A and B are shown apart, each in its own frame.
Chain A
Amino acid sequence: MNDTLKNHATLAEKFNRDIPRVDWHDKTLWFVREKRDKAANQIPDWEKLRETASQIKNNVLSNLHDYLVEFENNAQQNGITVHWASTPKEHNEIVHRIIQQHGVEHIVKSKSMLTEECGLNEYLEHQGIEVVDTDLGERIVQLAGEPPSHIVLPCIHWKKEEIGELFHQHLGTPKGNADPQFLTSAARAHLREHFLHSKVAITGVNFAVAETGEFVVCTNEGNADLGVQLADVHIACMGIEKIIPQRKHLGIFLRLLARSATGQPITTYSSHFQKPRAGQEMHIVLVDNGRSERLGSEDFRNALKCIRCGACFNTCPVYRRSGGHSYHTAVAGPIGSILAPALDMEKNADLPFASTLCGSCTNVCPVKIDIHDQLYKWRQVLVKNGHVTRGKKFSMMSMRFLLSHSSLYNFSGTLGRWVMRNLPSLVNNKFNPWYKQREMPQAPAQSFRSWYLKNKQHGK
């Protein structure tokens, strides 16, 4: 394991140096989790909905080839141009080519985790094209030069006073004004100009329907719609796993998506794009980037069912107290921790360990991804592939030796307790991470086994 790589524990420790901020971050996200609970509880059939969504997604994964072909055919018949990209690089080049064909140097983009995954903004900026993220939260982190810290709430780690200062610097709002209403209207005016002057608009895709060749984009702000309806060219970027079989299945997924994400009954806008308007070009870029390979893994393919609602982020006690950037990957949180190692095992070997395996993520997941079980399985894969420190490997090997010999185990237990009682400084010191903020357990004179031998002679 390379020690120079970014590491969740180290980044989380930094985040935890400002405890009031951690408390604020935790409470804000817990509030969203509570809204989700309230929304879910208003639907008596909630668990059945999750099960149905999960089964539909299982069907999609098992028949993805045919659904992709069906979708492509129908989309083409609808007048949409379909592109295929194996890699992020290919995706970025396709998008760039379309932009070039229109001689444009300035585009707007609404939220798309896929383009984050592919590093599209960076790529296009290198080509001299200005990309303006139009989701308010994404625009905030973009102005700040940061990636989003949450897939649904991109700037959930920013305080309004900091946003006020950021807007003062970049948009010229009065210094010291941190009123969300005021700041939002300033952003509205600023972004309206970009909407009006962009000939190309990029969006993500929430669902693509094989049966009809249409795709659905959900936003609350209406930024995706304003962007594409004012542009001559609409480019929609999606991972190949976003396909669903039939239009009626949207009923299942749209009932789950916003309730799971923010506790809203539905997003403000659920736009179904079936055909370009007269004179408009509509493109879809279908991206693989390792998905087809993951489809072959029984243990990990379920992660492809994800609908990017972010519920597992909000409920995760570790995410809430470590912040999205501690995951150092486009998709953070529990789902990111099972997606990222498949993309780069070495860089993301720490992420499956950034969890207590509490299982709350699995329970909130609207499509029933076994997230915490996959975290456990990733740990096994990472260790087998050598992504583990030598110290850890040594301690595990020793533990195995100790625990497979009961006499050794009993001896070392006795020894350990004796040390803790008589030489506590050997244990209670700064090299022991347990002791930094916690007392060690108080070691008793005898183990249960010794007590049992003395008091219960009928023991074998």
Chain B
Amino acid sequence: METVLRVENLFFGYKKEPFLRNICFEAKKGEMISVIGENGSGKSTLIKVISGNLKGYGGRVIYNGKNLNQIGYLERAREISVLYQNSECDFPFSCFDVVSMGLYPHKGNLNGLNKDDIDFIKSIMELTETIEYSHKSINSVSGGERQKVLIARALLQRPKLLFLDEATSGLDISSRIKMTEIILKECENNGVTVINISHDINLAFDKSDKILALKNGEVYSFGRPKDLLNKDFFREVFNVEVKIDFDKKYFRIII
């Protein structure tokens, strides 16, 4: 399978002291990679750097054979989408307006929405179950509903690489599972590579192809979930003792 993203010897610091050190990993087409680690281990910073939103890093980030630094803003947005947790918005845009902003990288400043665009927006809004409140203003819906609107916005961008920074953590359990399934389906059907920061360890180990564990700004381990699944791993990464069970009914691991 072709490599979509390759991170080589990445260093990054807000001040002189590097905060992320010597990060190396690669993501292949259609893969789902979960980034896990303690609070302050550098997960969000890593996502910001490798999605191109934070500049001034050392090392190399190669997206589809091109250096990330050399890709223009709009070109990058046509390929890479980033979804942050619960971005607030103080202005009464309708949910439909917010979702339709996902087409900006493809349409530019001047082109309005045509019939195909509207059909596409509708299909994504139906998929994410946001169409029911498409007319409501984004600051009058609940936090979970807003997050679903933002997920729809990110999917509308038609990314080839999707970064999620705790994007489903504000959702109730049924919505969380549903949104994860939608995102996984995108991975499968359109070959989207997903890099996901998650505190839901069960979901991360259950659904991801690979796990990237960070500790104090360095990669502790990177590999398939079943290779990492042992008590020592959790003791080292999270400083906790865990019990690992296997749910025979659903063939799932429970941590």
Please say whether chains A and B are actual partners in one complex. no
**Chain B residues within CB distance 8 Å of chain A:** none
**Chain A residues within CB distance 8 Å of chain B:** none
